[in-house]
């Protein structure tokens, strides 16, 4: 390999699979504005055609290119190389919370399986589908989710304690909130949120909110309101009944 120049960047990329692997060093030339994903593509084209990496939109819209860059959860297509010191070696690893398929891609199928358990929108029979932008706003924030699963990756309940059976994780609490707060939805998923999806495991560390590239306020806007509703329901059944009958908060 050539001697690195100031216009080069050196990456240490995980090569291997769930049974093990090693960090391998590659050096590629830097162009202005390049992001980590560009550097990975350059490595593929020049050094390692078989380096496995997911991507699609290259503009932060699809949530395919999640990884851990220098230990931080990132969309690699939005992470500019000039965020790092010149000459600094950049490490790229797959998300830790999921099994590794190969190199920096991991098996996120657990997320798809969990998602399938969530009941979809159940519109009220009499709805005329008219609602205001303000009502839409609340739900639209949650619907910005690009399913990058970075929040799932950083949540300690999943990452460190591997409670994948008991806890559905922030991504899907966001989805549940989007349904529960939908202006015409008529279903009640709260009991499931408590029992099957394990909202109680969340102790509001807010790591998920910090990791979210879409800036969704996962904890304050999605998780806490659902926790509050649960408290009201189980400690204040009268209030709950009132809400259920009137549809009002």
Partner 1 sequence: MDKYETHEYDVVVIGAGGAGLRAAIESSAAGVKTALVCKSLLGKAHTVMAEGGVAASLASADTRDNWETHYRDTIKGGKYLNQWRMAQLHAQESPDRVRELQEWGAVFDRTREGGINQRNFGGHTYPRLAHVGDRTGLEIIRTLQDRGVHQGIDVYMECTIRTILKDPDGHVSGCLGYWRESGRFVVFHAKSIVLATGGIGRCWDITSNSWEYTADGHALALWAGAELIDSEFVQFHPTGMVWPPSVKGTLITEGVRGEGGVLKNIDGERFMFDNIPEMFQGEYAETEEEATRWVEAVVADRRPDARRPPELLTRDVVARAIRREVRAGRGSPHGGVFLDIASKRSAEAIKRKLPSMYHQFKELANVDITTDPMEVGPTCHYTMGGVRVDPESQETRVPGMFAAGEVAGGMHGANRLGGNSLSDLLVFGKRAGEFAARHAADRADLTAINETEVEERAAAMLEPFGREGGENPYTVHEDLRNMMQDKVGIVRTEEDLVSAIEAIASLRTRAAGVKVGGNIQYNPGWHLALDLDNMLDISEAVARSALMRTESRGAHTREDFPDSDEQTWGQQNLVTCQTESGVEVQVESLPEMPPELKELIKD
Residue 166 binding target from partner 1, ligand FES, ligand SF4, none, CB below 5 to 8 Å by type:
none
For ligand SF4, the binding residue among 76, 145, 181, 193 (CB under 6 A) is 145
Neighbouring residues of 191: CB distance < 8 A, sequence distance ≥ 6 = none
Q: What share of the chain is helix, strand, coil (3-state, %, to 5)?
A: 40, 15, 45
When asked if residue 99 is in the footprint of partner 1 (CB under 8 A), the reply is: no
Shortest Å, Cβ 101 to partner 1: 6
DSSP notation for 34-72: -BHHHHHHHHHHHT-TT-----S-SSSSS---EEEETTE
DSSP notation for 116-179: TTS----B-TT------HHHHHHHHHHHT-----HHHHH-HHHHTT--TTT---HHHHHHHHHH
Site string for partner 1, 1-40 (x = CB under 8 A): ----------------x-------------xxxxx--x--
Query: Is 222 in contact with 173 (CB distance < 8 Å)?
Result: yes
Stretch touching ligand FES by CB under 6 A, among 45-53, 57-65, 183-191, 215-223: 57-65
Note the maximum CA span of the chain. 73
**CA atoms of 166 and 57, how far apart (whole Å):** 33
Report the C-alpha dihedral over residues 37, 140, 154, 198, rounded to 10 degrees.
-150
Residue 50 binding target from partner 1, ligand FES, ligand SF4, none, CB below 5 to 8 Å by type:
partner 1
Site string for ligand FES, 62-101 (x = CB under 6 A): xxxx---------x-x------------------------
Shortest Å, Cβ 107 to partner 1: 8
For partner 1, the binding residue among 90, 92, 95, 146 (CB under 8 A) is 146
When asked if residue 58 is in the footprint of ligand FES (CB under 6 A), the reply is: yes
Query: Is 11 in contact with 25 (CB distance < 8 Å)?
Result: yes
Interface with ligand SF4 by CB under 6 A: which residues?
63, 145-151, 155, 157, 170-171, 174, 202-208, 211-214, 216, 218-219
Interface with partner 1 by CB under 8 A: which residues?
17, 31-35, 38, 44-46, 48-64, 78, 80, 101-103, 105, 108, 112, 115-116, 118-121, 123, 129-133, 135-136, 139-140, 143-147, 179, 182
């Amino acid at each position: 390999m050539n001697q690195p120049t100031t216009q080069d960047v050196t990456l240490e990329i995980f090569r291997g699979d769930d049974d093990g692997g090693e960090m391998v060093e590659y050096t590629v030339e830097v162009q202005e504005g390049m992001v980590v994903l560009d550097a990975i593509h350059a490595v593929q084209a020049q050094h390692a055609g078989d380096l496995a990496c997911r991507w699609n939109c290259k503009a932060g819209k699809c949530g395919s290119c999640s990884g851990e860059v220098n230990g931080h959860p990132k969309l690699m297509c939005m992470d500019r190389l000039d965020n790092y010191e010149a000459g600094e070696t950049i490490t790229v690893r797959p998300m830790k919370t999921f099994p590794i398929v190969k190199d920096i891609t991991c098996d996120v199928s657990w997320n798809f399986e969990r998602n399938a358990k969530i009941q979809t929108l159940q519109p009220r029979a009499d709805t005329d589908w008219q609602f205001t932008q303000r009502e839409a706003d609340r739900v639209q924030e949650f619907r910005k989710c690009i399913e990058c699963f970075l929040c799932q990756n950083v949540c300690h309940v999943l990452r460190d304690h591997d409670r994948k059976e008991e806890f559905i994780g922030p991504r899907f609490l966001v989805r549940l909130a989007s349904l529960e707060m939908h202006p015409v939805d008529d279903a009640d998923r709260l009991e499931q949120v408590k029992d099957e999806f394990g909202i109680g495991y969340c102790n509001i560390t807010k790591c998920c909110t910090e990791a979210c590239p879409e800036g969704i306020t996962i904890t304050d806007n999605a998780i806490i309101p659902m926790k509050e509703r649960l408290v009201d329901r189980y400690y204040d059944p009268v209030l709950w009944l009132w809400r259920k009958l009137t549809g009002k908060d």
